[in-house]
Amino acid sequence: MGAPKSGFWSPRIAALQPYVPGEQPRIDNLVKLNTNENPYPPSPLAIDAIQRASESGLERYPDPTSMALREAIAHRHGLNRQQVFVGNGSDEVLAHAFFAFFQQADPLLLPDITYSFYKVYAQLYGIACELQPVDDDLRIDVDALAARAQSVDGCAGIVIANPNAPTGIGLPLKRIEQLLMACPHRVVLVDEAYVDFGGESALPLVALYPNLLVVRTLSKSHSLAGLRVGFVCGQSHLIEALTRVKDSFNSYPLDRLASAGAVAAIEDERYFESTRKAVMDTREGLSLQLEDLGFEVLPSQANFVFVRHADHDAAMLAAALRERAVLVRHFAQPRIDQYLRISIGTRDQCSTLIDALQTVLG
């Protein structure tokens, strides 16, 4: 007997609606196209590096500053290491950024259709959000966001994903600059989780804009979702704030294996180029096949496509595919509940999907 267990919880935790990740079931011969993982394995050089790292030094804590990895990232992107912060997946980096920059008196500006974790971080840290509707084509309304940021009402900053999730639609750099100029006194965070699949990166703007943060992950384009490595680039005064949060939370977010694997993956540019090209080529072929089956396919610059069918309910389609061991993602959310988000698999996986859809659609 006693108080209900939630009676022990802090009030904010009781009110939280945590993020629900896509399912990771153990089903034989599953075609898993629901969480935007890369269908190809990581670089063999990354596997070697992880193996070597596992053979010595695990009794010691890793470098709390992750210097080698930050230097590799800085070198790859023409930055210096004071402009790079790394974390345990970009989700952790995003959480620290929300904590470090957006706890302000005014609300944070977000598109209404975006990565759903942003609202969870905002709830966790007590940050009010103001949602800016995407337009009828599900494109981010940059003019409206910029106008709102410039209004007398004030804002805590702006967060967008580019390309956006779960639509896959990208914004050109000029539109990112429009947001940066409209919001000079607050941070504009651009989450580029999917940018390597055809988007335009804002990294070249880091040196120009003191309010820009660009978040990246190795989970998608470097096939390392299981290693948990993300990073953020920005001018050193922003990186310093993130480091203050990290050093008040967990001094060692990246273990020795993750750092070693990430450095090797970043340095193996040839492997990176070949797998991302394979994903992009497969996406174009899959998009045409889906259109032939009667789907509307939004223009994607990501490793997934966002599609809807005029005659078939999306939740029903997702359930029917699941029965055939093909997993895709459906969001039971206003405005997008008739869409399916389909991650780009190998060519074989995409053929299995198309076969299954042909059966389901009849």
Binding residues vs ligand PMP (CB under 6 A): 89-91, 115, 161, 165, 191, 193, 217, 219, 225, 230
The smaller minimum CB distance to ligand PMP, of residues 83 and 221, is found at 221
- Give the shortest CB-225-to-ligand PMP separation in angstroms: 5
270: exposed, middle or buried (C-beta count within 10 Å: 0-12, 13-18, 19+)? exposed
The smaller minimum CB distance to ligand PMP, of residues 182 and 214, is found at 214
- Give the shortest CB-163-to-ligand PMP separation in angstroms: 9
- Give the shortest CB-228-to-ligand PMP separation in angstroms: 7
The smaller minimum CB distance to ligand PMP, of residues 76 and 324, is found at 76
Q: Which DSSP string corresponds to 219-254?
A: SSTTS-TTT--EEEEE-HHHHHHHHHHHTTT-S--S
Q: Work out the angle at residue 303's Cα, subtended by the Cα atoms of residues 302 and 309, and round it to the nearest 5 degrees.
A: 85
Q: Work out the angle at residue 229's Cα, subtended by the Cα atoms of residues 234 and 298, and round it to the nearest 5 degrees.
A: 80
The smaller minimum CB distance to ligand PMP, of residues 34 and 211, is found at 34
The widest CA-to-CA distance across the chain, in whole angstroms, is: 62
The smaller minimum CB distance to ligand PMP, of residues 215 and 357, is found at 215
Strands 108-111, 129-132: pairing kind: parallel
Q: Which DSSP string corresponds to 276-328?
A: HHHHHHHHHHHHHHHHHTTEEE---SSSEEEEEESSS-HHHHHHHHHHTTEE-
How many CB atoms within 10 Å of residue 114?
Answer: 21
Q: Which amino acid appears at position 74 of this protein?
A: A
The smaller minimum CB distance to ligand PMP, of residues 191 and 196, is found at 191
- Give the shortest CB-89-to-ligand PMP separation in angstroms: 3
- Give the shortest CB-230-to-ligand PMP separation in angstroms: 4
- Give the shortest CB-311-to-ligand PMP separation in angstroms: 29
